[in-house]
Every structure is written in structure tokens, then in C-alpha cells.
Amino acid sequence: MPPSGSRRPLLVVLRALGLGDLLAAVPALVALQAAFPDHRRVLAAPAGLAPAAAWTGALDEVVATAPLGALDPALHGAAVAVNLHGRGPQSTRSLLDARPRRLLTFAHPDLPEIRGPAWDEQEHERDRWCRLLRAHGVPADPAALGITVRGGPVPADPAGAVLIHPGAARPAVRWPAEHFAAVAGALHREGRRVLVTGGPDEVALAASVGAALPGDALLAGRTDLDGLARLVAGAAAVVSSDTGIAHLAFALAVPSVTVYGPISPARWGPPDHPRHRTLWSGQEGDPHATVPFPGLVAVTPAAVLAELTTALNHHRPDPPPPDRTAGAGDGLGGRP
């Protein structure tokens, strides 16, 4: 759907990736909102991310865009285009082809005519995009990663429960199902409520992980993106691999235990707070491999359970936050 409100100057942000990628870019999106309050701020991303875009409060609309694909003609001629997708050159060229009047992006040797800061491969993802904006004169704070999730239905009451999310888009970053099952079983035996989440294509995976749990604890395929966010917002803690739900926990200040590999948490990890615990073997490898990374597999269920105890001891943020959910409001990105 083309953006409405065309009489306002148009700002286009390219971030045509996944949920975790979008949540890691929240500080940059918030900075753009503050710097361009009178612009119509449109995210070029997969259409399914529209609910997550609304959580940021910084965007007016999402226009469906494939990774590294051509932008919708409605996004051509923007006053400002911002490349939060990558270093280029493909993503930068996608924006250049749309002929924006101003482009904020990283430098790339294949595009010597484009000015921008140098890319740092080891930089944390939240820091990277804020540094990009600062280099182009836009103040940005990587700590501004909070989101607002509106109230609505959930398939189960998450209060006091540990959410276990065994899925991940890439096999290389997915902690083994049997490890998740061992954690779920141990918590159940201790009397802790456990809920297992996942997408529609992860129902069988969730069933194998939650085999020792009551049937109503299996929630895979029973939530949309908003419903998943509401579950996280109300839960005691989240246990997962490095995937989108972990970044939801970071943004909502919900205790979490995240198993990393083959990418270091120094590049994709949570804010520095004891409620967020990370486990990493110290080894890096190919994140696009078709089998779980060996260093990831080496992380034991016992280690995760120990870190979960620490995370649960920091359930309440300091200072206590306002309600993490809000009533329905108007507009895609309106904060309540």
C-alpha cells in the first residue's frame, strides 16, 4: 500500500530484514523520529513486520519491500532515505535508484561518489546504526530501545511463566530441541509454569520440546506477532536462541536467557543488565550453515538453568517501568 499523507516530506527507511533486525534498529528509528518530526516516516520492509513497526512509535507506515529488491514507486523521490539495511552496495543502490534528495548510508568502495562513515564489522548492531546517524548529523542513543505493545488477546495467561522459544529462522543459530526440552522438563518438575512458543511452522518442534508439559502449554502457531509480544510483556522470563523473541525481551525489559552462536553477543546481545543473561562458547562461525553451530550445541541445559535463576532474581526493572501494554490507539505508530 503506498504511503498516505503525501503532502508531508517523505522519509524512507530501508530495513527489509526480520523481527530481531528491526528491534535492533529501534534506537535509530527513534532518533529519526526526533530529527524529522514533520516527515512522513515510512519503513521499507516485509509487510508482516507492520505490527512491530507500530511498537516503535517512530513510524507512520510500512511499505512491503523484499530484501535488496526495488522500492515501491510510491517511495521514489523521498526528501530523505536512510539505509539501515546494510553496508551496500546493493542496498544503497536500491535507495539510489529511488532518487532521494538526501541519502544517509555507509561508505562503500564500489560507490565512491557516496559519502558516509566506514563500516565496522565487529560493532554492536544497535551502536552501528546510531553511529551512522550521528555521522550524518542526527543525534542517536543506542540505549533508547524500548517499545510499546498494545493490550489484546493472548492464548494463555503468561504471568509467572517462563516462555521457551525453540525455533529460529537459521539452523546454525538454533540451540538443539533436546536441550530446550531438558530445560522445560526441569522447570516443570520444579513447579514453574512453562509456555512453549513458536510460529505456525514450528508446531511439531514445540510439541517435542514440551512433551512433558500440559497440552495447554504449547502455544506454537496460536499467536500473531502482536500476541507473541503480549506474551513476552507479561512473562517472568524468556529462554531462546539469538532470534526475534530475545530482542522482544530486551526491548520490553523482560528477564531473558539467550544462547548465542555462531555470532558473538558482543554484536547482537542485550543491554548490560543482570536480568539479561547470555551464554556463548566463545567460538564464531558461519551463521548461514545448515546445521547447528558446534559451539552452540556445547552450551548445556544446566548452564541455561543456572543463568535463568539469576535472570529471575532481577524480574522487576529498576526503576519499575510503566505498563508494558496500552489500550488501542489511532494510527500505525502512535504511542498511547
pTM reported for the whole predicted model: 0.90
pLDDT band at residue 314, thresholds of 50, 70 and 90? confident
How high is the pLDDT of residue 325? 42
Do 175 and 298 fall into the same domain?
yes
| pLDDT for residue 330 is more than 60 | no
Asked if residue 107 has pLDDT above 70, the reply is yes
Check whether residue 303 and residue 183 sit in a common domain.
yes
pLDDT, residue 333, reads: 27
Whole-number average pLDDT of the chain: 91
Total structural domains within the chain:
2
What is the predicted pLDDT for the residue at 316? Answer: 55
Per DSSP, the three-state class of 24 is helix
pLDDT higher than threshold 70 for residue 116: yes
Residues 163, 301, single domain; the answer is yes
Same domain? For 302 and 169 the reply is: yes
Query: Within a domain: residue 283?
Result: yes
Extract the C-alpha cell encoding 315: 524480574
**In the structure, what pLDDT confidence band is assigned to residue 331 with cuts at 50, 70 and 90?**
very low
pLDDT at residue 132 is higher than 80:
yes
Whether residue 86 is found in the same domain as residue 31? yes
Checking if the pLDDT of 38 tops 80, the result is yes
Residue 109 domain flag: yes
Q: How far apart, in whole angstroms, are the C-alpha atoms of residue 244 and residue 23?
A: 8
**Collapsed DSSP state (helix, strand, coil) of residue 3:** coil
pLDDT at 1: 40
Asked if residue 216 and residue 288 are part of one domain, the reply reads yes
Helices of type H across the chain: 19-24, 26-35, 50-56, 90-96, 125-135, 177-189, 203-209, 225-234, 244-251, 265-268, 294-297, 301-312
Is residue 3 assigned to a domain? no
Residue 262 lies in a domain: yes
pLDDT, tens digit, for every residue of 52-76? Answer: 999 999 999 999 999 988 999 999 9
Strand ordering across the sheet containing 237-241: 194-196, 162-165, 237-241, 256-259, 276-279
Domain that includes residue 186, residue range: 158-317
Same domain, 237 and 176: yes
pLDDT of 317 over the 80 cut: no
Q: 194 with 127, same domain?
A: no
* CB of 74 closer than 8 Å to CB of 52: no
Q: Based on the domain organization, do 181 and 297 belong to the same domain?
A: yes
Quote the pLDDT of residue 7: 85
- Asked, for residue 182, whether it belongs to a domain, the answer is yes
| 192 and 56 belong to one structural domain | no
- Residues 226-255 have a mean pLDDT of 97
Is the pLDDT assigned to residue 277 strictly greater than 60?
Answer: yes
175 and 130 in one domain? no
Is 113 a member of any domain?
A: yes
Distance between CA atoms of 279 and 229, rounded to whole angstroms?
Answer: 23
| Percent of the chain at pLDDT exceeding 90 | 88
Q: Is residue 179 part of a domain?
A: yes
Q: So what's the pLDDT on residue 15?
A: 97
Together in a domain, 101 and 211: no
Query: In CATH, what number is assigned to the domain containing residue 93?
Result: 3.40.50.2000
Please check whether residue 175 lies inside any domain of the structure: yes
